[in-house]
Structure 1
Amino acid sequence: MKFFYSTIYKIKFLFILLLSPVFMPFVSSQTGGTLDNSFATVGFTSFGFPQANATCSAAALQSDGKLILAGQYISGNTGTLAVVRLTNIGLPDSTFGLNGQVLLPFSNVNVEATTVQIVSDGSILIAGKSNNLPLLIKMSQTGVLSGNFGTGGILSFDNGLSGIIDLILLEDGKLLGCGKKADQFCVFKRNEDGSEELSFGIAGFSCIDAGPLSVLSRMTLQADGKILLTGSLNATATKNDIVVMRLTKSGSLDNTFNNTGTAVLALGNAGTDEVGNAIRVQKDGRIVVAGNFVDSSKTKFIVVRLLPEGVIDTSFASTGSVIVAFNTTKDEAKDLVIQADGRALVCGTTNTGNGSNVAMVRFKTDGKLDPNFAGLGKISSKIGNRANGEVVLLQPDNKIIVAGYAMFSNQNRFMAARYNPGVVVGTNEASKKKLSEIVLWPNPIQPGNKIYVQGNFTSSEQLRIKLTTLDGRQVHNWAVRAPQFENQVIELELPADLYPSAYLMNFYSNSISGGKLVVID
């Protein structure tokens, strides 16, 4: 018999729910920097391949919370590109490939995955190299190679690049990649199907002279679409310096950046080397670069911040840069993310003498170490006999994912760990405002009907929507890309077998985390 709510009952439900913590964006009460034991029961997991040492070098989070790991291993004369998907609790996802893995063997040992991107339809893009040529792979959500991309889902091309170093998926579905060609930093653009986008640069390519012994490490985009590259230049015969280049959307050097389009950051003295390994842009347009500082005896983390015009920002750590050591001979910074509250989180590896640990450092917006992160602002996390942190990602609930590889029983395996962020300040009000702007209609609604969602989401952001009971049990979920324009409408079809009751429609993305009441009558 169908159950009907009275108006008073609905108002009572609404009043209780508005006061409930489920309407607030998730803020972890766990100590920042500690392993999250809800992930694989101990906070980390590993995934190995028989009789081979594997290295995970790329990772991405899907909008449904699942984690894609990509890397490689060598067996004989065959290099295999391996892709693994884990559920949001750290278990192999049996709906992906065979037992959660897809293996792609190549007839050479020079195979590497460098970047993973998730397309709006859920398909997966992997960039890297094979036999010193650029490599792009596209597969479906279930791990099947895409027939409408390259040749059977695999695309390799020879434009002089030795591989793809980084790849960005643009809002229009096109691909922006970078790589090295002799002494040049190169950026290329391709269409959704992998074909060249000839309107970019010269026939889809733009190459900038960087000089001998230069290193290209990573790429990112500004909000206005301009392209930022980082790595190092051989400034003198005995010294390497961090470099940041900015290109326009069309691929030419942007001379409004440090007057030349290039900023060479001589941060040490004549006896030191610096290299940029990761680059991100803050919401205010300032540019953060993380990398390595090498002197005569040690390798350390270094983080530097630039103003949008390309000069060092001296409001960051008073000099514009900060060096962090873990009291070992070798600390390597590999990746960087900016939290919603503006704090920078850097991950990498620290040598322990008889192995290595995952290393992370969190900085406040003024460049000082964040004491709310493990008490000291930095952690050295032992996983297996030795571990390397290669990629750092942020979940919508602010929890921290580090992906890389670790040794267990004398075998290198893919590794993923999840850490608690502690309190991420400054995000509640913005998220609450976005949540309050979401409108659902019709509401109440009958099972099986379409419900419409309207809200001020960030343009084309990945959006995960979960329908749960009031006690948190999930009954349905959707993974969608938010509309390109403000206040466009998302259409969702409700399951036909929903029992008449009150539910929560929970929204998760980079800018929102919280729920709205839905009444099924």
Structure 2
Amino acid sequence: MSEIRASSNAGALDPAFADKGVLSLPLPRIPGDEARCVLALPQSKTLLVIPWLASGPIVVARLNEDGTLDTSYGDRQLGFVELLFEGTEIDRVGFKIGALADGGCVVTGLYGSRGIRGLIAIRLRQDGSLEQSFGNGGVRLIPEEDFRRGTTNVAVRVAQKIENDGNDPSTAQGNSGGAVAEDPDGKIVLVSNTFDSTGRQKAVALRLNPDGSTDQSFNGGFAIVELQGVAHLWSSARDVAVQSDGKVVVCGQYGDNDRRAVFVMRFNSQGKVDAEFNSNRPVTITASEYIDFRSIRVSKTAILVVGEANRSGVNHGLIVMLNSSGSYNLVFNNGAPLFSNLMPGFLYWRQCALQSEGTVIVTGVGRGTDTRELSVVTARYRADGKLDSTFNDGKGFAVFENEMGTHVTDGMDVMEDGRIVICASWLDLNIKSGGWVLRYLG
């Protein structure tokens, strides 16, 4: 949860950042043109995770407030660190980044090495150096064998690329990296997806100790998401958040041969399904058409989840606000899911942030009816679920358009003063691609 100091120009691109609020990639000395995730830091700095083009290293770069590289970051004083893993192939799309209480961060994703696939977790100190006490010199590889040891009732393996027959989870879900969060004891919580012994995909949560070892006190280290009282064949984890008491909240999608639906469920600090959450049932939303959750954030009193839902053939952004106990917040949109329809073509939310007075920041992609291209859409909602009229001259949302092609939002975070940082990428009809970092006033 972030504080907010409202600007009189909230919703406008920040003129103090890069080129009138837009930083185009690649950055100097970094031959990678797409940032895959972003983390806002104290002192108005920003971290980016940027894969090099082709098969080079993964770069973590730190920006100053004006968008220039912070040359105090990294041992070579270049403003970035390079992470290269010989003999290990890192998926160059599904990265996540999480802040740590000690000022460092954890970067997660998927890896493959000599026929073994799994999750990778990389822990960096505040200065960009690897935390040597974590895993093997700052890196923990979590192969599928670890999932087998951590599960007593089913054999599981880390989800890889799978085919989509229209009923099972999409390929993008099966190939997504592990979302990451830190708990009050400094332990690191991840979610990913597995397959059980029958070949059905299941969402899974796991917890690491601060040194990267598997935390056996969390259900033996790993817990399969079980949606008690809900009939389903498969489930898929999208994101994870940890509440102030150490309870782990997971959001995702589930379904069977006939439908898709979304869920929010909670584990207690021991990795067991929490009977105190929503009267011992997951929060679920069903739909006759497509629906998905993408991002979850928590505060001391609330749980915010966002995604998308198709209604009458038109894709809407989906926002759900729950109390910390799992019941619907009756103030936000009168206690009902909010289906955003801000663009005449379609809209979906990909990232979210929850601020101190209940204000909601969401970002995603939308399209108008008069263009084939996608635009980055960022909105601010009040605690009652209404668009915030103080954001972007009364509109409540801002649209970033560019002639470069189709746009995708890859990450978003909110700075301490309320400014919104977004990393976005584009792809044109010639299969050329690139990216930006955007910053809006808050």
Partner of 2:272: 311
Q: Counterpart amino acid of 1:113? A: A
SS in 1 for 2:333: coil
State the Cα deviation string for residues 192-228 of structure 1 (Å, max 9, x = none).
3433222211111112223242553300000110010
Partner of 1:204: 138
State the Cα deviation string for residues 43-86 of structure 1 (Å, max 9, x = none).
xxxxxxxxxxxxxxxxx9786568xxxxxxxxxxxxxxxxxxxx
Partner of 1:173: 103
Describe how 1:104-119 pairs up with structure 2 within 5 A: 104-105=25-26, 112-119=34-41
Shift of 1:271: 5.8
The answer to whether structure 1 residue 143 and structure 2 residue 102 are counterparts is no
- Native 8 Å contact 1:128 1:134 kept in 2: yes
Partner of 2:17: 96
| Cα distance in 2 between the residues matched to 1:422 and 1:213 | 38
TM-score by length of 1: 0.60
Q: Counterpart amino acid of 1:300? A: A
Describe how 1:7-26 pairs up with structure 2 within 5 A: none
Shift of 1:247: 0.6
Shift of 1:270: 8.8
The answer to whether structure 1 residue 243 and structure 2 residue 204 are counterparts is yes
Aligned counterpart for 2:225 among listed residues 265, 268, 290: 265
- Native 8 Å contact 1:238 1:270 kept in 2: no
**Any unmatched runs of 5+ in structure 1?**
1-59, 67-86, 424-461, 466-521
- Native 8 Å contact 1:328 1:353 kept in 2: no
Describe how 1:85-484 pairs up with structure 2 within 5 A: 89-105=10-26, 112-131=34-53, 133-149=57-73, 152-159=78-85, 160=88, 161-163=90-92, 165-182=95-112, 183-210=117-144, 211-213=157-159, 215-258=176-219, 260-267=220-227, 272-325=233-286, 327-341=287-301, 343-384=302-343, 385-408=345-368, 409-422=371-384
- Native 8 Å contact 1:116 1:126 kept in 2: yes
With over 3 angstroms needed to count, the CA separation of the structure-2 counterparts of 1:379 and 1:270, relative to structure 1, is: closer
Shift of 1:118: 2.0
Q: Counterpart amino acid of 2:12? A: L
Larger relative contact order (Cα-Cα within 8 Å, sequence gap ≥ 6): 2
- Native 8 Å contact 2:109 2:177 kept in 1: yes
- Native 8 Å contact 2:318 2:339 kept in 1: yes
- Native 8 Å contact 2:349 2:365 kept in 1: yes
| Cα distance in 2 between the residues matched to 1:417 and 1:321 | 28
| Cα distance in 2 between the residues matched to 1:129 and 1:63 | 31
State the Cα deviation string for residues 391-429 of structure 1 (Å, max 9, x = none).
111223321111112113332111111111139xxxxxx
Shift of 1:463: 6.1
| Cα distance in 2 between the residues matched to 1:315 and 1:169 | 28
Partner of 2:428: none
Q: Counterpart amino acid of 1:142? A: D
| Cα distance in 1 between the residues matched to 2:367 and 2:32 | 22
Q: Counterpart amino acid of 2:218? A: F
SS in 2 for 1:398: coil
| Cα distance in 2 between the residues matched to 1:256 and 1:220 | 17
| Cα distance in 1 between the residues matched to 2:31 and 2:201 | 30
Shift of 1:122: 1.3
Q: Counterpart amino acid of 1:413? A: S
| Cα distance in 2 between the residues matched to 1:312 and 1:113 | 35
SS in 1 for 2:38: strand
Shift of 1:376: 4.3
- Native 8 Å contact 1:166 1:177 kept in 2: yes
State the Cα deviation string for residues 283-336 of structure 1 (Å, max 9, x = none).
2222111111122233221111111100001222333422112x3421110111
**Any unmatched runs of 5+ in structure 2?**
145-156, 161-175, 386-414, 419-442
- Native 8 Å contact 1:339 1:398 kept in 2: no
Shift of 1:382: 0.6
- Native 8 Å contact 1:124 1:140 kept in 2: yes
TM-score by length of 2: 0.70
Q: Counterpart amino acid of 1:169? A: A
With over 3 angstroms needed to count, the CA separation of the structure-2 counterparts of 1:328 and 1:370, relative to structure 1, is: farther
Q: CA RMSD in A?
A: 3.1
SS in 2 for 1:375: helix
| Cα distance in 2 between the residues matched to 1:155 and 1:392 | 27
Runs of 4+ residues over 4 Å off in structure 1: 60-66, 106-112, 268-271, 462-465
Shift of 1:353: 4.8
Q: Counterpart amino acid of 1:410? A: R
Partner of 1:494: none
Q: Counterpart amino acid of 2:375? A: R
Shift of 1:238: 2.9
Max Rg structure:
1
How much identity, in percent, do the aligned residues show?
22
Q: Counterpart amino acid of 1:399? A: T
SS in 2 for 1:256: coil
- Native 8 Å contact 1:239 1:271 kept in 2: no
